Amino acid sequence: MALEALKIRLLMMLDEATNQPDDLHELQEELREEIAGLRAQGLPVPEDIAQLEMRLETALNLPQTRGDA
């Protein structure tokens, strides 16, 4: 259930980012929070979501923070 809820939130976030592309930093921060929540629950981070996180970090020129904890 947590994974389905995450996917819905991510779709909403991506839709918002499409409409407001200047807010990519906000999207990236929200994505980090969602991923941290998954890890805190001991759930795996889906590979496509981890890749999205890495792409955003690269696009925004940020240090990559991906952890496989």
pTM above 0.75, yes or no: no
- Rounded Cα distance, 67 and 39, in Å: 9
Task: Tell me, yes or no, whether 69 lies in a domain.
Answer: no
- Rounded Cα distance, 60 and 39, in Å: 23
Give me the pLDDT at residue 55, please.
82
Task: Tell me, yes or no, whether 15 lies in a domain.
Answer: yes
Task: Read off the pLDDT of residues 5-54 as tens digits, 9 standing for 90 and up.
Answer: 877 887 787 777 777 767 777 878 888 888 888 889 898 888 888 888 88
Number of folded domains that form the chain = 1
Return the structure tokens found at 7: 């996917």
- Please, are residues 53 and 31 in contact by the beta-carbon 8 Å criterion? yes
Which residues constitute the domain of residue 17? 2-59
Task: Tell me, yes or no, whether 64 lies in a domain.
Answer: no
- Rounded Cα distance, 61 and 54, in Å: 10
